[in-house]
Amino acid sequence: MDYFLNLVNTIGIHTLLGLSAYILLLTGQLSLAQAGFFAVGAYTAAVLTVILGWGILPAIGLAMLITGLLAFLVGFPALRVRGLMLVVATLAFGEFVRMFFYNFRWRVTQEGVEVGPDGTMGFSEIRYFAEHGWTSWEVTSLIWVFVILVMAIIWWADQTRSGAVLRAVGEDELAAGTVGIDVTVVKMAAMTAGGVIAGLAGSLYAHQITMLDHHAFTVLLATFAIAYPILGGVSNVFGTLVAVIFIQGLLVEGLRFLGDWRMLLFGALIIVVMNVKPRGLFDSQTLRWIKSVLRLHLSRRIS
Amino acid sequence: MLEVKSLSKHFGGVQAVRELDLAVNAGDIFGVIGPNGSGKSTLVNLISGVFPATTGEIHFQGQSLSNLSPHARVRAGVARTFQNIRLFPGLTVWQNLWVARNSTEDTRAEGISFRWFRKSGPVKNEIDAMLEFSGLADKGDELASNLAFGEQRRLELARAAATKPRLLLLDEPAAGMNQEEVRDLGRRIRELRQQGMTIILIEHVMELVMGITDRIVVLNFGSKIAEGEPAAIRKDKSVQEAYLGQSEDG
């Protein structure tokens, strides 16, 4: 059961991570910084609960605030470049964060035990849930409340004029400027929102996994983050969720017997999807097809 | 209303626009013609801020546009269309017009209001009127990329008009249109003028330019070679040499 719940937790956390990249992708920005924001969120929230003894919700809140602020600051220089240069710049940021935590040491003694991040040794014993008697079910519920909340907010935003403005910038920056949209402001807003969501994902991850290690925040995680919305398509948030279930549930867990060869499939999958369905697995065309099939099925049942 | 003073633009060694002076009166439909490569589109890009001028000044209603970014120029009241249509292809026709409403006071509240609430109210009325104006009343929920070429041109014109500009720059809006569509376009442009917009029309289709403009400027190699009313321009010798003769043959 715990194995199953852990998988559900991972899917939830990775969905949040994917959604943080989804928002940026809407505005046409490909960011490899999301793993970095994820790491900052994870370490910040863990330091708050373990060393400073904060409750889980305030810790998550402050972690989100800090990663949002960081994303805002990183966004200024990063968004001056676009396309491939943005990928390189954000990749560099991600590695910078990882190497920071590789060297980050802040040990304190609590009740005779030394706790806190320990550089290369990682940050273990993040035992907030265990110490406060949370059951596995409660942890999973907490994660998924956040997932559903974030999905609902993004879905709702997409129905508003602001959502249309985000997409307009992603479609054609020059045209967006010439209808009066401040492209820089829109991109900064997307970057900040993406940072906040990645920070949320990271702070949940830290407490669910109970042990942080810089190896978890490599470029592979950053690639996962952008792979989900690319595979799922940006026509709606559910595509990202489906892509996470597909990759984490089927590829990573389902094919565990293949060992590290699975990662080969992951790369191949992205190449195949980009060639066959350049707008993602769940582009508007596919969605229309699914809807028409469902409608046909329903009408047959009725008649 | 619009004053351009000794405006120049160099691309490397190429002088696309050189020492150009222009004055456009409020309420005019102002034509800009000239052979290919004479700097007409560059002029539109300079006024709309797509790229900066090398030297020279652009004043709009007494305000200098030189240091304003493209979106700030739109908010100051200058909108444009593109020679090669640039819609938001993945957005619906409705959304294309919706995002262009930036300079209005109610956009702030609109920013977070739900799509389904837009089924009534002043925003809907206004956008519906724009759809009606462009003959796309029944296509509001179509993706812009699914529109026919002529419809895309009409949508782009409506999108520019939706920013509620004082000055509208049209970069070859009749390119690729048949005669009937050109006449139709002429009617729409006049209607926009009646709504209070000043229009700068860059065009190769002489029928349209001669038919609806109040004044015409002729460019050649980035410089002004003639300016005047359509009838005078038609008779001008230097213009015929540079442009009209050549165009009517081809």
**CA quadruple B113, B115, B121, B123: dihedral positive or negative?**
positive
pLDDT tens figures, B107-131: 555 655 555 555 566 778 888 899 9
Distances (CA, A) of B174 to B45, B114, B194, B228, B249: 18, 37, 20, 22, 19
DSSP class per residue in chain B: -EEEEEEEEEETTEEEEEEEEEEE-TT-EEEEE-STTSSHHHHHHHHHTSS--SEEEEEETTEE-TT--HHHHHHHTEEE--SS----TTSBHHHHHHTT--SSTTHHHHHHS-GGGGGSSHHHHHHHHHHHHTT-GGGTTSBGGGS-HHHHHHHHHHHHHHT--SEEEEESTTTT--HHHHHHHHHHHHHHHHTT-EEEEE-S-HHHHHHH-SEEEEEETTEEEEEE-HHHHHH-HHHIIIIIHHHHH-
Give domain status of residue B29, yes or no: yes
Token reading at B60: 């709009």
Give domain status of residue B6, yes or no: yes
Q: Are B115 and A178 in contact (CB < 8 Å)?
A: no
Q: Clarify whether residues B72 and B118 are in a common domain.
A: no
Give domain status of residue B83, yes or no: no
10 Å CB burial of residue B131 (0-12, 13-18, 19+) is: buried
Helix or strand holding residue A115 (H, E): strand A113-115
Regions of chain A where pLDDT drops below 70: 282-284, 298, 300-303
Q: Are A177 and B103 in contact (CB < 8 Å)?
A: no
pLDDT tens figures, B164-191: 999 999 999 999 899 999 999 999 999 9
Q: Clarify whether residues B67 and B2 are in a common domain.
A: yes
What is the CATH number for A133? 1.10.3470
Q: Clarify whether residues B237 and B186 are in a common domain.
A: yes
Q: Clarify whether residues B177 and B233 are in a common domain.
A: yes
Domain extent at residue A88: 2-302
Give domain status of residue B187, yes or no: yes
Q: How many CB atoms lie within 10 A of CB A260?
A: 6
- Please, what's the b/e burial string for B140-168 (b: 16 or more CB within 10 A of its CB; e: otherwise)? eeebbeebeebbbbbbbbbbbbbbbbbbb
Q: Clarify whether residues B223 and B158 are in a common domain.
A: no
Distances (CA, A) of B246 to A39, A123, B33, B135, B250: 66, 77, 13, 35, 6
Q: Clarify whether residues B176 and B138 are in a common domain.
A: no
Which residues of chain B are within 8 Å of residue A157 when distances are taken between CB atoms?
Answer: 112
Select from B131, B149, B164 the last residue of a domain.
B164
Q: Clarify whether residues B72 and B170 are in a common domain.
A: yes
The predicted structure's pLDDT at residue B110: 60
The predicted structure's pLDDT at residue B158: 96
Q: Clarify whether residues B116 and B43 are in a common domain.
A: no
d(CA B104, CA B75): 9
Token reading at B191: 């209607």
User: What's chain A's length in residues?
Assistant: 303
Q: Are A176 and B91 in contact (CB < 8 Å)?
A: no
The predicted structure's pLDDT at residue A183: 93
At CA A198, angle to CA A197 and CA A204, rounded to 5? 90
Note the pTM of the prediction, 2 decimals. Answer: 0.89
Q: What's the half-sphere exposure (Cβ side, CA atoms, 13 Å) at B141?
A: 2
ipTM of model: 0.90
The predicted structure's pLDDT at residue A251: 83
Domain extent at residue B204: 1-77+165-250
What is the CATH number for B194? 3.40.50.300
**Contact status, residue A287 vs residue A235, Cβ threshold 8 Å:** yes
Number of domains in chain B: 2
Q: In terms of CA atoms, which chain A residue is nearest residue B98?
A: A161
Q: Clarify whether residues B8 and B65 are in a common domain.
A: yes
The predicted structure's pLDDT at residue B106: 56
Q: Clarify whether residues B54 and B68 are in a common domain.
A: yes
Q: How many CB atoms lie within 10 A of CB A274?
A: 13
Which residues of chain A are within 8 Å of residue B87 when distances are taken between CB atoms?
Answer: 172, 175
Distances (CA, A) of A257 to A97, A239, A251, A268: 33, 27, 10, 18
Distances (CA, A) of A119 to A8, A134, A151, A213, A215: 29, 28, 34, 9, 12
The predicted structure's pLDDT at residue B246: 55
B198 DSSP β-pair partners: B167
Q: Clarify whether residues B42 and B119 are in a common domain.
A: no
Minimum distance, in Å, between the CA of residue B148 and any CA atom of chain A: 19
Minimum distance, in Å, between the CA of residue B135 and any CA atom of chain A: 21
Integer-rounded Cα radius of gyration of chain B = 18
Helix or strand holding residue A114 (H, E): strand A113-115
Q: Clarify whether residues B173 and B69 are in a common domain.
A: yes
Minimum distance, in Å, between the CA of residue A295 and any CA atom of chain B: 20
Number of domains in chain A: 1
pLDDT tens figures, B8-31: 999 988 899 999 999 999 999 999
Tell me the count of A-B CB pairs closer than 8 A: 94
A160 touching B (Cβ < 8 Å): yes
Give domain status of residue B82, yes or no: no
B10 DSSP β-pair partners: B15
Select from B121, B145, B164 the last residue of a domain.
B164
Long-range contacts, B131-138 (Cβ 8 Å, 24+)? B131/B93, B131/B94, B131/B97, B131/B158, B133/B158, B133/B161, B133/B188, B133/B191, B134/B158, B134/B188, B136/B93
Minimum distance, in Å, between the CA of residue A282 and any CA atom of chain B: 14
Select from B164, B194, B213 the last residue of a domain.
B164
Give domain status of residue B185, yes or no: yes
Q: Are A168 and B95 in contact (CB < 8 Å)?
A: yes
Give domain status of residue B36, yes or no: yes
Binned at pLDDT 50, 70 and 90, residue B249 comes out as very low
Give domain status of residue B236, yes or no: yes
d(CA B214, CA B236): 16
The predicted structure's pLDDT at residue B250: 40
